[in-house]
Structures are given as C-alpha cells and as structure tokens.
Amino acid sequence: MLRDLQRIVEAVNQAPDFELALRTMVRQIKAALDTDSCTVYVADHDQQMFVMAATDGLEIRSETPIKIAFGEGVISLAARREEPLNFADASSHPAFIHIPEVIESQYKAMLAAPVIHRRRVLGVVVVQQHQARAFTSDEEAFVVTLAAQLAAVIAHAEAKGLLHQFKQSPWLETFKGHPAAPGVAMGEAYVVTPLARLSEVTPKRTDMPEHEVRRFRSAVARTRQELNELSERMKHQVAEESLAIFEVYHAMLDSASLGQEVEQTINEGWRAQTALKKVVEQLVEQFENLDDDYIRERASDVRDLGQRILSHLQDRSRRHLETPAKCILVADDVTATMLAELPHSDIIAMVGVRGSGNSHAAIMARSMGIPAVLGLADLDISELGGQTLIVDGYNGDVFVNPPLQVEQEYQLLADEELALRQKVMQGRHLPAETTDGVRVQLQLNVGLNTERDWLSELNVQGVGLYRTEIPFMMQERLPTEHEQVALYGQVLEQFRGAPVVMRTLDVGGDKPLPYLPMSEENPFLGWRGIRMTLDHPDIFLVQIRAMLRASVGRNNLRILLPMITSADEVDEAVRMIHQAYHEVAEELECSVDEQLYQPQIGVMIEVPAMIYQLHLVADKVDFFSVGTNDLTQYMLAVDRNNSRVADLYDTYHPAVLHALQQIALRCQELNKPLSVCGEFAGEPGGAILLLAMGYRNLSMNSYNIDRIRWIIRHIAAADLPELLRQVLAARSPQQVRKRVILALENAGLGGFVRAGA
C-alpha cells in the first residue's frame, strides 16, 4: 500500500492542472482500494456548500455541479467532526441523504475523510462500495494520508483562484487575486497590452555592431524623455511614494550595468533588440528568484522598462489611448508607466494578472485611492475588453458580467465608498481632535520623492518616519556623503519648520543591499538595522554626517535608531552621533551648540526586549517611536513576509496590545515623548486603540492621514478606557477585532471597517 501511496502522490503532484490532479487521485484511490467509487467534494465556504469536484464510479444525471449544503449528509458530519467516518452500511445512518442527481442507491459501505488545511476544512474524500463492509484501519489510514496530501493541492488551487469553476454558480464568474488596494468599483474593462514584448523578439545576429549600439543609445535617450513626460504628467495626481518609480527607472537607465551589458552583448554580434531581450530577461529571472516579496516585484519594473526601450528600438510609439469614461484598467502586468499614459480621471480601478500588494501598481492605486486586485493568475484577459467588471479590493475578488442583484449590491457599496472619501477630504484642514478635545499629532511616513508640497496639502505635523534605506537600495553602491546631503536636504527643506524623523539605515532582514550581499539562515533574526551599522562605522558615520550637514540652517532633523535591542547599542550609537556632530562642526568651523543644531535622538521600539529597558536608555535619548510592524513579528514569532503564517501575524493579538499599553505607561512615567510609525497607526481600529492607550502622535502614509483624522474627530476619548479594558481582556485577535468594529460602528464609523479594512 505504501507503494500505491507514493505512486498516487507523485501522479497528483505531476498533474499539469488542478482538475487532472483531482481526477487522477479519485481514479487511483478507487483502484488501490479495489472499491466501487471515489469522489472528492470541495467546500465552498461562501455558499456554505460542498461541490462535487471529481468522481470515479458515481453515475451522475445532472449537467450542473452537484452540491450538498453544509450540515447535510455524512459528508458534512465528517467535516464537522474533523475526523474520518467509516460505516459498513452508511445508508442506515441517520445523517445519510440521497442525492437525487446521483444514482448511488446501491452503495452501502462508505468512508468519508475530511480534507483539512491549517484547521480549515477544504473538502471531503469519499470512498464507497456496493457491498456492506467496514474499511480496514490500513485502508482508512491510506485515505486519510491522501486527504492530507489533497489539502495542500486544494489550498494551492484556492490561492491561485482555480476553484471558481467548482464553486461559482453558473451565472457568476468570480476570480480571486491579491487585494492590492482597498475599495470597490464597477465598470467596463479596458484592456491595455504593452506596445512591444521582449518575449516576441526572435534572436538575430548582426555584423554592424556600431550601428546597433547607436540605435540602442538613441532608444534609451527616447525612453528617458518619455519617462520625464510621464512623471511630469503624474505629478500632483498621485502620492509621492508612487512617483518614486520614475526615479527608479531613471536610476536603472543610469546604472552602468544595464546599458553596458546590452552594449557588450551587441558587440558579441547580436542585434540591439536581441541583446536587450537577453540582458533584461536575465535580470527579470534574477529578481523573480529572490525571496523578498518586495524586491521580487521589481521584476515587473525591469520588464516594463525593457519593453519601453524595445518599443523605441522598433519605432513603435503609443497610439493615442482613448479610454471609455469610468473604466477599469486591465493588463497582464499593470505598470506605473502604463497608468501614466492614461487619463487618470477615467480609471476607477485596476486589475492585473501579475503582481501583488507590493507592486508599484498597487502602491499607485492606493495613493490614487482606487481599488485594485492583482495576481489573478487564472484570468484570461484577451476577451475581457468591454465586459462589465466588479472589483472588490477589500477581498481580492473580481466578478465578470455579474447578475443584476450583485451589481446593485456593489453599486451601493461603491457609492458609499465615494461619499466616504469625499467626506474625509472635507475635514482635511481641521485638527485631529476627539469630540471631547483630545488632540493628536498626525505625521507622515515618507519614502523617496519629496517634491510634492505635503505639508500644506495634507495638514500634517512633519515626518514621523523617513526610511533612508530606500535610496540606498536603489543604487549600485553606497551613496556618497555628498549625495546623501543633497537627498536629506531636499526632505528637510520640504518640511521646513516641521520635524523630520530620519531613521538610520535599516537594511538586512528582508531589505538587503544589492551591493552588500548577506546570506543568513534567519535574516530577520540576523544582521539588520543598528546591528549592521554599528559594525560599519564607515557607513553609519557618513550617514549621520550627511544628515547633520543637511540640517544646517534648517534645524528640523531628528534621528531615529532602528532595531535597538540593548542599552549598549544606544550608548554606542549616541557616541558616534556625537563624534559625527563634532567632526561636522569642526569642518564647518562653527561653534558647537550655537550654530550647529543638535538633533533630537530617538529609539525605535520594535524588538520586544526594548520594552523592559526603556528606563535604561531614557536619559540618553529624546523620544521613542514604536515600530508595530516588527514588534508584532518579534512578539508573535511570525515572519511578517511569510504568507504561510500570514493569518497568525496580527497586531490585534492581545499580547501585542498589552505590550503597546506597557510601552505607553512606561513612557508616561519616564516623561518621554512617544509616537507610533508602524502600519497599525494608519488603521482605523489601530488608531483608536493607540489613542485609548494614551498615544498622541501617530505617523502613517499619506493615504491614511485624512481617514484617521476623520475617525479621531468622531470618537470621544472618554469612551475609550472601557474599550481598552475589554480588548485587553480578550482571548484572541478575533475578539479584539469584534469589539473594535463595534466601537467604530457605534461612533457611526462602520464604513471604515468593511471587510478586511
């Protein structure tokens, strides 16, 4: 039997698609057990039904999929009990039901094994025989083992959206992808294809390499010009972090490697198009093989840039794109530049076959405030143009040509969304103050591009987190002190008069520097943040000196230290900051303290060990800032980027909330300013919980500022202690969520906490 087992597992794993995998499994189980039928049912939790997905042996009368409601039949019983049921004569069992569409009245013996993946029943495997007999314990173990194997297959298919063919009713075509930007929208699909595709280039040789190099250089120059035009067009339309992509593209074009490699390949005798294809495809492959989700997504940027250069090499220029009013942009790979080419006001949502929440398209969609679903691997877009789509960016669902009832339901939601967005914008100029007068400082988390006048536009009190590693990651080498001075100067200048918290380099973990390779078994527990920079005074001192120089005459710099675990790390970092300070003062020939502004220094609380050492470092630093993203991952021992444990990563976990509460209390005792710069501060529920704990300074990305202000303005601080008492007594993140949602709903803020928000 062990051999049968191995053979089936192998056959299922090698099946080219999901349906065939299921068909192979039922056929081979039936043969191995020498029984009369084997059937797999897949659970549709939305419709509360088990749907027959494959059978060998049952005779079916119906054309439409056979469904059994949750709660009915022996199948449901096995699912509910979460254990196999083995009946010599199932037909006499009270739970047994006859399915009218199946001719199975002759079956007596029945073995039903639930298919369970991470505690969720995904289906049931059923083996039946005409003759009454109990299946042996060996046979039972055999089916249970295969059900466990099937669990992974179904979970994978579900994640890839392949279950819709079994689940959906015939009139509703649903596709599941990654929820990449929140919101719902309904409209006509507008499919955009790239002007040129590298995959379609047939390799060709040349004996005129100089001519090909000239063609390549001129295509690059035209691409540059086109990028400038596109970024100019996008300016003032999207958030600053979104425009960074154009700088990334320029940096890639500047980078010696891309151009040099293409030219070198041309000189080896290949035509420009072929050389470009070879170099870009190799780069794409390198990116796609990386572990880090964010960096992996950059493969799409490289491909987009390559195809843009190719379109110029092929002398194809974009025909004028006429979009229908209020359309949904659909593409294989929605790219930032594609978006820049279209009239923005007409795009109400985006749908992409590739991509995830980390794609630039997702970042742009969020900053434009339109919903997006990406990574719809199963969606064939070739026939989609002109069809009606509903995009649910909360749940990652896309419905194609939905029936009227569904349309109406979503239209209502979309209208509510729009009204909500318009409403929160109206309150932009007002202070973030609760109904009973408690004031909160709202600050911005920023990345790269800082040209936009956020300070007046968004009504924020400066920058709560400037992640300096982003410009470091986009280069081919460490930026020089001079380059860093220019960069930091821009940020400090833009927020003149308001504090700017600049975090020292936080690389390592999931953010390696391409030119400083590190290979570690557990990078998140490894050489990251301050651990790396303290080992590299050369990098750290240069960065601090650059920050100090940039702050001359502006005096709004604050320095934040990431990943601090021990008091001696703070001592050492502060010592180096002072050293840099004196060096810069000396070089500038200005007297210390009088002319050179001494920045405040802060420590991030993101490693749990810090919670218990605040008193040890308080006299060395001026403020603390909580990084809830890492604090959650380290408190719960859950990798923040691992999708397998993504549902365990939850800042609403009562333990994390207790930690946040502790931090607030200790900082009050120590009389130290405290802020939060992790994602939790920008979530409606997170913000009110932090408020309840006494946090009065929240830093978040631009999209959330107006929403959180609105929420704060509709909450009474006096109601929060009771909410806090309840959530701190909760047993699970789910209980916490329920209470928080109720509190928001009671305050008339239910619209902010729709599914997944």
The site for ligand PEP (CB under 6 A) is made up of 465, 467, 506, 606, 627-630, 677-678
Helix (H, G, I), strand (E, B) or coil at 320: coil
Q: Which residues contact 33 (CB under 8 A, 6 or more apart)?
A: 127, 135, 139, 142, 143
Beta carbon of residue 625, minimum distance to Mg ion (angstroms, whole number): 10
Quick one: what does residue 417 bind among Mg ion, ligand PEP, none, with the CB cut-off 5 to 8 Å set by partner type? none
Beta strands in 654-749 (DSSP E): 674-676, 697-700
Which of 446, 459, 532, 424 has its CA nearest to residue 490? 446
Taking the complex as a whole, the smallest distance from the CB of residue 663 to ligand PEP amounts, in Å, to 13
Nearest CA-CA partner of 626 in 689, 583, 685, 679: 679
Contact 288, 215 (CB under 8 A): no
677 catalytically annotated = yes
Of the candidate residues 183, 447, 471, 627, the single one contacting Mg ion (CB under 5 A): 627
- As measured in angstroms, the least distance from the Cβ of 703 to Mg ion is 20
DSSP letters spanning 283-298:
HHHHHHT-S-HHHHHH
Whose Cβ is closer to ligand PEP: residue 275's or residue 507's?
Answer: 507
Applying CB under 5 A, the span of 244-252, 519-527, 588-596, 624-632 interacting with Mg ion comes to 624-632
Q: Closest distance between ligand PEP and the C-beta of residue 680, in Å?
A: 8
Crossing angle between the packed helical segments 2-14 and 18-33, to the nearest 10 degrees: 160
Residue 88 pairs in a beta bridge with none
DSSP 36-83: SEEEEEEEETTTTEEEEEEEES-EE--SSPPEEETT-HHHHHHHHHTS
Q: State phi, psi for 55 to the nearest 5 degrees.
A: -145, 145
Distance CA 56, CA 63 (A): 16
Q: Which is nearer to Mg ion, 226 or 606 (CB)?
A: 606
Given the complex with ligand PEP, which of 261 and 630 has the nearer CB atom?
630
Nearest distance from residue 445's CB to Mg ion, in Å?
A: 11
> Which one, 76 or 449, has the nearer CB to ligand PEP?
449
- Contact assessment for residue 471 and residue 513, using Cβ atoms and an 8 Å cutoff: no
In this chain, which residue has its C-beta nearest to ligand PEP? 627
The one of Mg ion, ligand PEP, none whose footprint includes residue 628, by CB under 5 to 8 A per kind, is ligand PEP
Rank residues 259 and 678 by Cβ distance to ligand PEP and give the closer one: 678
Question: Is 360 noted as a catalytic residue in this protein?
Answer: yes
Q: How far is the CB of 629 from Mg ion (least distance, A)?
A: 5
**Listed ranges 172-180, 219-227, 577-585, 630-638: which one lies at the site for Mg ion (CB under 5 A):** 630-638
Closest to ligand PEP by CB, 278 or 467: 467
Burial status of residue 388 (CB atoms within 10 A of its CB: 0-12, 13-18, 19 or more): middle
Q: Which one of 60-68, 72-80, 629-637, 704-712 is the stretch in contact with Mg ion (CB under 5 A)?
A: 629-637
Q: How far apart are CA 9 and CA 151, in angstroms?
A: 12
User: Closest approach of Cβ 166 to ligand PEP, in Å?
Assistant: 38
Q: How far is the CB of 503 from ligand PEP (least distance, A)?
A: 8
**In the complex, minimum distance from the CB of residue 529 to ligand PEP, in angstroms, rounded to a whole number:** 8
Q: Which of residues 597-616 bind Mg ion (CB under 5 A)?
A: 606
Nearer to ligand PEP, 242 or 468 (CB): 468
CA dist., res. 472 & res. 448, Å (int)? 10
Say whether residue 469 binds Mg ion (CB under 5 A): no
Q: Is 630 near Mg ion (CB under 5 A)?
A: yes
Long-range contacts of 723-728 (CB under 8 A, 24+ apart): 723/688, 723/689, 723/692, 724/661, 724/689, 724/692, 724/693, 727/654, 727/657, 727/689, 728/654, 728/657, 728/658, 728/661
Residue with smaller CB distance to ligand PEP, 96 or 524: 524
The 3-state secondary structure of 556-612 reads CEEEEECCCCCHHHHHHHHHHHHHHHHHHHHHHCCCECCCECCCEEEEEECCHHHHH
Q: Quick one: CA dihedral 435, 437, 439, 440, positive or negative?
A: negative
The torsion angles phi and psi of 576, rounded to 5 degrees, stand at -70, -35
Between 505 and 550, CB nearer to ligand PEP: 505
679 near Mg ion, rule: CB under 5 A:
no
Owner of token pair 């070739």: 382
C-alpha to C-alpha distance for 212 and 223, rounded to whole angstroms: 16
Q: Which listed option, Mg ion, ligand PEP, none, makes contact with residue 371 (CB within 5 to 8 Å by class)? A: none
Q: Pick one of ligand PEP, Mg ion, none as the site partner of residue 44 (Cβ within 5 to 8 A by kind).
A: none
Question: Please, how many CA atoms are within 13 Å of residue 488, restricted to the half-sphere of its CB?
Answer: 37
Residue 297's binding partner among Mg ion, ligand PEP, none (Cβ under 5 to 8 angstroms by kind) is none
Are 286 and 292 in contact by the 8 Å Cβ rule? The answer is: no
Residue 467's binding partner, choosing from ligand PEP, Mg ion, none, with beta-carbon cut-off 5 to 8 A by kind? ligand PEP
The one of Mg ion, ligand PEP, none whose footprint includes residue 329, by CB under 5 to 8 A per kind, is: none
Give the torsion through C-alpha atoms of 245, 250, 256, 262, to 10 deg: 90
Strands laid side by side in the 173-176 sheet:
173-176, 397-400, 388-392, 184-191, 327-331, 347-352, 372-374, 178-181
Quote helix, strand, coil % in the chain, to nearest 5.
Answer: 50, 15, 35
Minimum Å gap between C-beta 561 and ligand PEP is 12
Marked catalytic residue, from 38, 178, 312, 360: 360
Type and span of the H or E element at 301:
helix 293-313
Instruction: Pick between residue 479 and residue 627 the one whose CB is nearest to Mg ion.
Output: 627
Q: List, in sequence order, every residue forming a beta bridge with 52; answer none if it has no partner.
A: 41
Q: Which of 38, 327, 667, 677 is catalytic?
A: 677
In the complex, minimum distance from the CB of residue 643 to ligand PEP, in angstroms, rounded to a whole number: 17
Residue 606 or 706 with smaller CB distance to Mg ion:
606
DSSP state for residue 325 in the 8-state scheme: T
Q: Among all residues, which ones are annotated catalytic?
A: 360, 677
Residues that bind Mg ion (CB under 5 A): 606, 627, 630
